[in-house]
Chain A
Amino acid sequence: MKKYLVGMMICLWSYVALAQAENLGMQDYAMRFAEVKTLQSDFTEEKHLALLNQPIQSEGNLVFDKQAQQLRWQYQKPFKNGFLMQRNHIYRIQDSRKIPIQNVMGRILAAQMLVWLTLDLEALQKEYAISFEKRAIRFTPRAKDHKLIKQITVWLDAQDPRLVTQVKMEEPNGDFVLWKFRHTQLNPTLSDEVFL
């Protein structure tokens, strides 16, 4: 009986210790990501879809100002399009023209981007179970039969864990999108023109 009790105590202690470690990890990451005020990066986007014979790839760049809540997500190849978010106003960029996005879906999509770019773990935790690995953070939707997302994995730079190097978004049917970020600059000085 005593053995069982000791065993149970050890299990309980281990569970509490692990939970604390997880919380510590999250707090640590959250603090690091909070240091990022502005961001500039190039990206490639690979889409692996059952619909396509071959994966397709697009390239672009992004600039982001956390305080001003401004984001420009610009595709350069093969099409020049993207979107621009300026506080509550969202625009589609089409042939260098700014077209206001009126629909809620577009706005929500852009708002989600903001959450992901800042890696607002507190906000994300409401919708995703978050697990921390050595250089990756894994987000699994809390909703059991999520129709669009199976899992999202974010890889961080080995030297500077504030830098996101890759994001993989997997769908329940096996399709996935992979974003690779390079030439990332943290907290650069951004001129207003980049958001015009």
Chain B
Amino acid sequence: MKWLRGHGPLLVFIAGAVACIAGVAHGPIEENVLALIPQSIKQQVELFGHSPLSQKMMVVAQAPSATQAFQTAQQIREQLLQEQLIRPVGNPAADFIPQVLDVLPTLFTSQDQLVATRKLTPRAVASQFDRYQEGLFSLESMFTKQQMTQDPLFLTEIFFDKWKKLGQGNTEYQDGLLASPDGTVQVGLYDSTAVVSDLTAARRLQRWFTQQQQRLPAGVRVFFMGGLRYTLENMSVIKRDLLLISLVGLALLGSVFGLFFRNRRALLIYLLPIGILPPAALVTQLVFGRISGITLGFGSVVAGLSVDYAIYVYFACQTSSVDSAKMHSQIRKHLWCNFLTSALCFAALFLSSVEVFKQIAVFALVALSLALGVALKVFPAYFRSPVSVAPRGIKIKPLSWRSACSVSVLLVVWGIWGITHTSLRQGLEALNSTSSAFAQDKKITDQLFTADKRALLFSLGKTADEALVHNENLSAVLPVSLPVSELFVSAKTRAENQTRWQQFWTPGRIRSARQSLRTEAVRHGLNPAAFESFWKRLQQPHSPTVDFTAWYNPILTLTDGSYAVMNIVEDTPVYQTVAQQHPAVFVSASQLQQKLARGVKDEAVQVVIWALLFNGVAVWMIFRNFKEALLCFVPVILGGCILFGCLAFFGITVNILGLIFLPLLVGLGIDYAIFQLMKYRAAREQLHEVYPPQALLAAGLSTLAGFGVLGLARHSVLFMMGICALIGIGGAVGVALFILPAFRERVL
């Protein structure tokens, strides 16, 4: 009981952590690219996400022969439908041509009127029947026969020409399948029954495809692509990374422990992250309703930071020559300063509009608050007792003023060269991390889709009809009309087209067309009665029953309840100019890429400025001395120079989201400077023993072990954070230990 009372706070802390782990495991962990997008371009990325391909699940069948690929694709489609993994798509029925004839009046433009007039001339009818005749003598006579009885004048060609313009590039789209030129790759475009960010659904689908693959003969492959595959890939990569990072991180932390501590009680230092990270993750999950894998991956960074607090307390507690109360007061003040600078950096990060950045800010703020509380309230009781192995004394000899100046100048030059030579990886693809198997699969599907070179033009409206009207207006001012505006028409245009159709079929025109048909029937030995159903339907059209939106739906409902009509257009400036003059949005992949890079850069600059401002104020409040406040930024600036120089030198392409590291470098660099400057201040009160150099080294190495190990990650964002930490923090620690003391001696 006494033991329980003695260790009460620690036990409560451990129990809380265990409960939080259970809570996080039951909550949603999501990997959504939209969470990584700045608010300024989120709407465009959201609209771009409505591109027909990005919304679809692509099921790819690859086989040695076209027939085998086609049959496999069809078989997989049937099974996917049976398992309700995709939504059913309406296929053209045998009475498809009559159904198109029913729709034709609603789409009958003045241009179509001219085409129809040409089709009705006796010469055109004769020419059409010659083609039919030859078709009847070919193997495809079954289809020719159907077409010539249902639409002998081939009026439906007007509709099919409009539909063709919607096209999907160079690929062929028939029977619901896209095919490569040799037919050995067949791709079905389907609507999945699951949302793209649903990880469980993505896993279920992956299992299903693995089972199907096992049943297929050698040489035949099936796989799926699209949003669900990206979700799965990102999460798989992050999970693998988390395991690797945790194991290597633990091993490295063990080495730091062996080097600086080697006693049982000091183990608590490294148990601290296990206690603080689960509650921080749970709070983040509750605040945002979900937590990103990247935020969880960032746990190792926070672990490194939080361990610093415990290390400083540990080394301070080992001093024997300093009065305990004074030591406590000094270390409390120091930890609060450290917390303040780090917390301000994360507060600056919270001001970003990128959701993942906000998540990381909340996650880190909660974790660091808990770490500070535990380091100050729980740990001193454990660290005050005499330890079995005394901490190793390490002597560090700072550089002389002249050497420090020379090195600093070199580092600044190195940094400027680095900034001008560092290449940036831009684009949405940079936000995803995928395996080599995925890259192979993507290469196969990319051969079929060249849509990336195209752009999307959205006409907006409060109602679907208003959006359609705006789309027609937009089409009217463009040099080439928008194919969608000819197939998906507003109520007003539909009524006008129907009137035009009725006026077109005058009794005289019908009589003349009938005569032409009779002539051709006699000429080709056909039974004129076979065309009666066509004439009947032409004069008494049925209400259109076929729903073309089941195959292609350009009308989108947006999250705010408004509507957009989507057009696929060439990526040329004319569309952008017209869109600016209408209620429309133009989005192209290239433009979006530039905007994304600019958006993230702006965010990073903004967050860095905020972090510098906040920390500038904080260090001024701490030291109340302009020179000391300025010195705090030396490790930050020189650490940044080392980082950019190395990135350029080693040819590391910077992922735009790696820029998130910059504000953290500000916070951490300032922390190390505070440690050194406070140490000199404490020396005046004979308290410098509270700041042994090994404390700074152990803290720096622990942070590197936690943070730098992310450099082993395959996820591009985590890798970037890790590599930046390894170089940036390593550099900042070095500057704080070897250069800053020389500056401080000279300046103060």
Residues of A within 8 Å of B525, CB to CB, are 52-54, 56
On whether the beta carbons of B145 and A175 are closer than 8 Å, the reply is yes
Contact B137 A78 (CB under 8 A): yes
| Chain B residues positioned under 8 Å from A45 (CB to CB) | 137
Q: Is the CB of B172 within 8 A of A103?
A: yes
How far does the alpha carbon of A13 sit from the alpha carbon of B527 in the complex, in Å?
Answer: 54
Distance of B189 from chain A, by nearest CB (Å): 14
Measured in the bound complex, the distance between the Cα atoms of B140 and A105 in whole Å is 9
> When A52-B525, A104-B177 are in contact, do A111 and B137 touch as well, CB less than 8 Å?
no
Known contacts A51-B148, A51-B527, A88-B183: does B140 contact A107 (CB below 8 Å)? no
| Residue contact A102 to B139, C-beta cutoff 8 Å | no
Which residues of A43-82 are within 8 A (CB) of B? 45, 47, 49-54, 56, 58, 73, 75, 78-79, 81-82
Contact A49 B172 (CB under 8 A): no
Residues of B within 8 A of A108 (CB): 67, 70
Residues of chain B within 8 A of A109, CB atoms compared: 139-140
Closest chain B CB from A107 CB (angstroms): 5
Q: Please measure, in the bound complex, the distance between the C-alpha atom of A175 and the C-alpha atom of B134, giving whole angstroms.
A: 18
User: Are A102 and B149 touching (Cβ within 8 A)?
Assistant: no
Contact B174 A104 (CB under 8 A): yes
Determine the chain A residues whose CB is within 8 A of the CB of B530 once the complex forms.
50-51
Q: Evaluate contact between B136 and A105: CB separation under 8 angstroms.
A: no
A106, A114, A177: the one contacting B141 at CB < 8 Å is: A177
Cα A191 to Cα B527 in complex, Å, equals: 44
Q: How large is the interface on B (under 10, 10 to 19, 20 to 34, 35 or more residues)?
A: 20 to 34
Q: Are B174 and A53 in contact (CB under 8 A)?
A: no
What distance in Å separates the Cβ of A86 from its nearest Cβ neighbour in chain B? 11
**Given known contacts A51-B526, A54-B525, A81 and B183 CB-to-CB distance under 8 angstroms:** no
- B545: interface (CB < 8 Å): no
The reply to whether B181 and A102 form a contact with Cβ atoms under 8 Å apart is yes
Q: Is the CB of B177 within 8 A of A75?
A: no
The reply to whether A88 and B65 form a contact with Cβ atoms under 8 Å apart is yes
A51-B526, A52-B527 known; A104-B183 Cβ under 8 A: yes
Taking a contact as CB atoms under 8 Å apart, the answer to whether A111 and B138 are in contact is no
Asked if B83 is an interface residue, CB under 8 A from chain A, the answer is: no
Which residues on B sit within 8 Å (CB–CB) of A17?
Answer: none
With contact pairs A73-B139, A83-B139 given, residues A51 and B149 touching in the complex (Cβ less than 8 Å): yes
Least CB distance, B184 to chain A, in whole angstroms: 6
In the complex, what residue of chain A is closest to B170 when comparing beta carbons? A102
- B325 proximal to A (CB < 8 A): no
Q: How large is the interface on A (under 10, 10 to 19, 20 to 34, 35 or more residues)?
A: 35 or more
Which B residues lie within 8 Å of A87 (CB)? 65
Please, which residues of chain B bring their CB within 8 A of the CB of A58? 137
Q: Which residues of B contact A88 (CB under 8 A)?
A: 65-66, 182-184
Does A147 count as interface, using CB distance less than 8 angstroms? yes
A32: Cβ under 8 A from any B Cβ:
no
Within the complex, the shortest CB–CB distance from B381 to chain A, in Å, comes to 77
- Nearest CB in chain A: distance from B92 CB, A: 11
Report if A50-B527 is in contact (Cβ < 8 Å); known contacts: A88-B66, A88-B183, A175-B145: yes
In the complex, per-residue mask of A92-130: 1 if CB is within 8 Å of any chain B CB, else 0: 000000000011111111010110000000000000000
State the majority secondary structure of interface residues on A: mixed
Q: Are B145 and A104 interface neighbours, CB within 8 A?
A: no
Bound: A147/B143 CA distance, A: 12
Residues of A within 8 A of B183 (CB): 88, 104, 107
Cβ–Cβ contact B172 & A79, under 8 A: no
Kindly state whether residue A89 has any CB partner on chain B within 8 Å: yes
Q: CA A100 – CA B179 in complex, angstroms?
A: 14
**Are B136 and A47 neighbours in the complex by a CB distance under 8 Å?**
yes
Chain A contacts for B148, CB-based, 8 A: 51
* Nearest CB on A from B532, distance (A): 12
Q: Which residue of B lies closest to A177 (CB)?
A: B141
Given contacts A103-B172, A105-B175, contact A49 B145 (CB under 8 A): yes
CB distance from A23 to the nearest CB of B (A): 23
Residues of A within 8 A of B177 (CB): 104
User: What 0/1 readout, one digit per residue, does chain B (91-106) give for beta carbons within 8 Å of chain A?
Assistant: 0001000000000000
CB-CB under 8 A from A52, the residues of chain B are 136, 525-527
Contacts of B495 in A (CB 8 A): none
Interface-centre pick from B139, B174, B184, B525 (highest chain A CB count, 10 A): B139
What are the interface flags for B565-607 relative to A under an 8 Å C-beta threshold, 1 for contact and 0 otherwise? 0000000000000000000000000000000000000000000
Kindly supply a per-residue 1/0 record for chain B positions 165-181, scoring 1 wherever the CB is within 8 Å of any chain A CB and 0 otherwise. Answer: 00000001011010101
The answer to whether B142 has its CB under 8 Å from any CB of chain A is yes
Task: List which B183-199 residues lie within 8 A (CB) of chain A.
Answer: 183-184
> Which residues from A are CB-within-8-Å of B174?
103-105
Contacts A88-B65, A103-B174, A104-B174; A79 near B145 (Cβ below 8 A): no
Cα A147 to Cα B93 in complex, Å, equals 10
| Chain A residues, CB < 8 A from B65 | 87-88
A81 CA to B174 CA, complexed, in Å: 24
- B140 nearest in chain A by CB position: A109
Residues of A within 8 A of B181 (CB): 102
CA distance A75 to B141 in the complex (A): 13
Tell me, yes or no, whether A16 is within 8 Å of chain B by CB: no
Please state if B67 and A107 are interface contacts (CB–CB under 8 Å).
yes
How many angstroms from the CA of A53 to the CA of B145 in the assembled complex?
A: 14
For B184, list chain A residues within 8 Å (CB): 88
- A148 is an interface residue with CB less than 8 A from chain B: yes
Which residue of B94, B142, B143, B182 has the most chain A CB atoms within 10 A of its CB atom?
B142
- B66 contacts A107, CB within 8 Å? yes
A128-184 residues at the B interface, CB under 8 angstroms = 147-148, 171, 175, 177
CA distance A147 to B96 in the complex (A): 13
CA distance A78 to B181 in the complex (A): 32
Interfacial chain B residues near A75, Cβ < 8 Å: 137-138
How far apart sit A75 and B179, CA to CA, in the bound complex (Å)? 29
- In the bound complex, do residue B137 and residue A104 qualify as a contact, i.e. CB atoms below 8 Å apart? no
By CB atoms of chain B within 10 A, which of A58, A83, A107, A175 has the most?
A107
Given the complex, which residues of A lie within 8 Å of B527, measured CB to CB?
A: 50-53
Q: Give complex CA distance A53, B183 in Å.
A: 39
Q: In the complex, which residues of chain A have a beta carbon less than 8 angstroms from the beta carbon of B145?
A: 49, 51, 175
A105 to B139, CA, bound (A): 12
Complex alpha-carbon distance, A109 and B70, angstroms: 12
Shortest Cβ distance from B404 into chain A, in angstroms? Answer: 72
Name 18 A/B residue pairs within 8 A (Cβ), A-sorted. Answer: A47-B136, A47-B141, A53-B527, A54-B525, A56-B136, A58-B137, A88-B66, A88-B184, A89-B182, A102-B181, A103-B174, A104-B70, A104-B175, A105-B143, A107-B66, A107-B183, A108-B67, A111-B67
Binding site for B on A (CB under 8 A): 45, 47, 49-54, 56, 58, 73, 75, 78-79, 81-83, 87-89, 102-109, 111, 113-114, 147-148, 171, 175, 177
Binding site for A on B (CB under 8 A): 65-67, 70, 94, 134, 136-143, 145, 148-149, 172, 174-175, 177, 179, 181-184, 525-527, 530
Task: Please give me the 4 A-B residue pairs with the lowest Cβ-Cβ distance, nearest first.
Answer: A111-B67, A104-B174, A51-B530, A58-B137
20 A-B pairs besides A51-B145, A104-B175 with CB distance below 8 A are: A49-B136, A49-B141, A51-B149, A51-B527, A53-B525, A53-B527, A54-B525, A56-B525, A79-B134, A79-B138, A81-B134, A82-B138, A89-B182, A104-B177, A105-B175, A106-B140, A107-B70, A111-B70, A114-B67, A177-B141
